[in-house]
Structure 1
Amino acid sequence: MGFAGAMLVAVAIDGVLGWPGRLYAHIGHPVTWLGQLIATLDKHWNRDEDPPWVRRLAGLLAALFVIGLASALGLLVQVAAGAGWRRMLLIGILAWPFVALRSLHEHVVAVAKPLRAGDVAVARQAVAMIVGRDPARLDEAGIARASIESLAENTSDGVVAPIFWGVLFGLPGIFGYKAINTLDSMIGHRDKRHGAFGWAAARIDDVANFAPARLTALLFALVCARPADALACVARDARHHRSINAGWPEAAVAGGLGVRLCGPRTYHGALADEPWLNGTARDPAGDDVALALKVYLRAMIGLAGLLAVLALV
């Protein structure tokens, strides 16, 4: 059954359990372990007094070290896992923490429920947990856009991409990808401190997410109510997004729901004049967040079905 069967096991476990809070309280989470390593390297290798080229080289070495370490650990465990059904189950269990299917759904539900009930203040608090823009400036439409965009982008980064690399390479693939994604989220920023040091992490993340982002867009388009509109929006608008990857799943959801996403937003008091996706459509509301969650669940069922087919083949 290969790695596709193992990834199906990981998806099934995460869909049922997520990452239990009691388990997190006792041992944390593998991503937090990676984060601690990255934070240590950032503290000691990213020196303000170094010229940009030195910081860029240090960031490249830091990224390669973290990715190599995570991938090597995955390979060692995988080689020791034996063969047959036991190997598939073990790889699936160890891949489980790196699939954020349930937690993503729960975070967006936490926004959708108060937003649909008209409690904008609570919805703002919930959306602040999943986006970086200033929540105090968001009205109902802004909250809905932020949560739908986060759902679309993180479906690619948090579910489809780790599964994609896990299917190809097993534990080295999913461990290595999660190292890449965590590096990007921590140091892959265009700010003064990380513009040079995080350059390599951001570029590696772009490459790692290239195929998964487009696969995610296709999954969304196939399961939404307006597949033709979703694909048309992707073809027309995805390339205008500031990210070469995030625009694909976000455009698919925008077209599929018949709403506009992205556009100008505020980060840390500074206005980012981003282009619209599906810009002639209406603004989303709380009900559209609930519809986006339904599309997400159908896409995850489709992903599980695809894994099952690949496992049987």
Structure 2
Amino acid sequence: MNFALVMLGAACLDGVIGWPSRLYARIGHPVTWIGALIAGLERRWNHGSRRARLIGGAATTLVVLATALLPLWAIQSVLPSTWTGHVLAIILAWPLIAVRAMHDHVAAVAKPLMAGDLPAARHAVSMIVGRDPARLDDAGVARAAIESLAENTSDGIIAPLFWGVVAGLPGLAGYKAINTLDSMIGHRSDRYEAFGKAAARLDDLANWLPARLTGLLFALASGRRMRHAVTVMRRDAPRHRSPNAGWPEGAMAAGLGIRLSGPRLYGDTIANEPWLHGEAPDPKPRDIDRALALYRRTMAICALALAALALF
């Protein structure tokens, strides 16, 4: 089966129609199904000593990964390498690639912020970031939205497509399971530090190459700023708290001529994070629209690359 063609078809399908709200209301979404399984296992196994939590977390990671991966491996093994088989594979891959949702969530922040409605913009950005939006000013909201767009382009689109091309439907589903595990239990908190350790390390590994690929795609989509974006990405990404997020964020910052990351508030704790492209000014509300335009160009380049892989 031509996995590049399947991933291209799924990305295009999601870009055009997304995941319909009526369908979500009726059956939910594969990621919510995975999330429900993770939550149930976490309630059962996340207790006891640190060693018990480490083992419980590793077991949770294995169970969730197998539950997501094995059914699609079985399905893919019986799909014919015909147009019918490819169409069925595209439909199965479609909900696991968030091209439209990513754009729409960030656009929902840009609209009220451009209109001067800071409370509405704070509410919209709270849907996509973990920091406290109540204390964010215009620049803080814009920075949070653009950072989320950069990081989640890697996690939600490029990485799933990458693993889908490499390993087909099982690779795609396995990656989404890993990423969902990390988002739910891969936190450095008293509750999850031990239990989520296996999931967090696996997510770091699964995203290592896709994150750097995403940064290169952002740089390529930056046009005349491409060389500068690559330079800033290579210089600043290693300073980021995450081994992977700094690469797409650094390229996005330099591509737009703004600074990202920096100090931020989580609850009552100030995280003194280093700046990415710190010599540039803070983003303005209109920079979210510029970031979305860069995102669309990046998706177009990605589609062309998938088409080339599918053909050759």
Cα deviation for residue 87 of structure 1 reads 1.6
Counterpart amino acid of residue 22 in structure 2? R
Partner of 1:216: 214
In the other structure, the counterpart of 2:281 is 282
Identify the residue that residue 173 of structure 2 maps to in structure 1: 175
User: Conserved in 2, the CA contact under 8 Å of 1:133 and 1:265?
Assistant: yes
Which runs of no fewer than 5 residues in structure 2 stay unpaired?
none
The residue that corresponds to 1:231 in the other structure is 230
Contact 1:134 1:269 in 2 (8 A): no
Q: Deviations over 1:164-207 (max 9, x none)?
A: 00001111000000000000001001111111000000000000
Q: 1:145 aligns with which of 137, 143, 146?
A: 143
2:162 to 147, 161, 164: 164
1:271 aligned onto 2:270: yes
Q: Superposition pairs for residues 19-58 of structure 1, below 5 Å?
A: 19-47=19-47, 50-58=48-56
Q: Distance in 1 between matches of 2:231 and 2:288?
A: 21
The Cα of 1:158 is off from its aligned counterpart by 0.3
Question: Given the two structures, how large is their TM-score scaled by the length of structure 2?
Answer: 0.98
Aligned-residue sequence identity (percent) comes to 58
Q: Deviations over 1:130-174 (max 9, x none)?
A: 001000110010001000000000000000000100001111000
Q: Which moved more, 1:60-69 or 1:202-211?
A: 60-69
Give the aligned partner of residue 243 of structure 1: 242
Residue aligning to 1:131: 129
- CA offset at residue 292 of structure 1? 0.4
**Candidates 195, 198, 220, aligned match of 1:197:** 195
* Distance across 1 between alignment mates of 2:150 and 2:16: 21
What's the offset of the Cα at 1:254?
0.5
* 2:11 aligned counterpart, secondary structure: helix
Counterparts of 1:68 and 1:23, CA distance in 2: 25
CA shift for structure 1 position 270: 1.1
**Residue equivalent to 1:80:** 78
How much does 1:298 deviate?
Answer: 0.3
Q: Residues of 1 paired with 2:120 and 2:53: CA distance?
A: 41
1:105 and 2:97 correspond:
no
The AA in structure 2 aligned to 1:27 is I
Q: What's the offset of the Cα at 1:79? A: 1.0
How many correspondences in the alignment? 311
Trace 1:244-263 onto structure 2 (pairs within 5 A): 244-263=243-262
| Structure 1 residue 311, shift from structure 2 partner | 0.3
Q: CA deviation at 1:36?
A: 0.6
Partner of 1:298: 297
In structure 2, distance between residues paired with 1:235 and 1:168: 25
Amino acid in the other structure paired with 1:133:
R
Question: How far 1:286 moved relative to its partner?
Answer: 0.9
1:206 partner SS: helix
Counterpart of 2:18?
18
> How far has the Cα of 1:232 moved from its partner?
1.1
Larger mean CA deviation between 201-210 and 264-273 belongs to 264-273
Deviation at 1:88?
1.4
1:3 aligned residue:
3
**65-74 or 140-149, larger mean C-alpha shift:** 65-74
Matched, 1:95 2:93: yes
Q: Does 1:185 align with 2:188?
A: no
Per-residue deviation, residues 201-245 of structure 1 (Å, max 9, x unmatched): 000000000010011000000011411121111011000000000
Unpaired runs of at least 5, structure 1: none
Q: CA deviation at 1:117?
A: 1.7
Rounded Cα–Cα distance in structure 2 between residues aligned with 1:52 and 1:109: 42
- 1:170 counterpart SS class: helix
3-state SS, counterpart of residue 265 of structure 2: strand
| CA drift at 1:248 | 0.2
4+ runs of 1 displaced by more than 4 Å? none
Q: Is the 8 A contact 1:41 1:62 kept in 2?
A: yes
Distance 2:140 2:236 in 1: 19
CA separation in 1, counterparts of 2:13 and 2:19? 9
C-alpha separation in 1, matches of 2:246 and 2:199: 19
After TM superposition, give the deviation of residue 289 of structure 1 in Å. Answer: 0.7
Q: TM-score, normalised by structure 1?
A: 0.98
What SS does structure 1 have at the residue aligned with 2:91? helix
User: CA offset at residue 297 of structure 1?
Assistant: 0.3
